[in-house]
Structure 1
């Protein structure tokens, strides 16, 4: 796994088309590649009790992950 299409396909399970574009673009710009974006989605996030972003989305918390990403983008601490 590692291309932008695969990343967007995964994100489409949890987000609208517009949100998929936003999240995938943001993660790729931060991490440098689709492959690294996949890695981030599977790393524990302390703010979510060490759940990964994918685990949080699977538990119905996709909007919380989206808010988290927007806060980081706007300069808040992760």
Structure 2
């Protein structure tokens, strides 16, 4: 068992890897982006980072602008 760097609960890395892979349909690699966190924390952080990226894209005109989304995630 490993201790999550974020929430400090103990978790099984293989189970976290499987849940992370399932959540993102294999598009993101837990070993690259999970950063030693449990599945819940790793998924939450990845989703947050993706939302920030989308908000930046909206600000740059690369995606349809949604002010509520931008205000929430930046």
Q: TM-score range by the shorter chain?
A: 0.3 to 0.5
Which structure carries more helix by proportion?
1
Q: Which has the higher strand share?
A: 2
TM-score, normalised relative to structure 2: 0.37
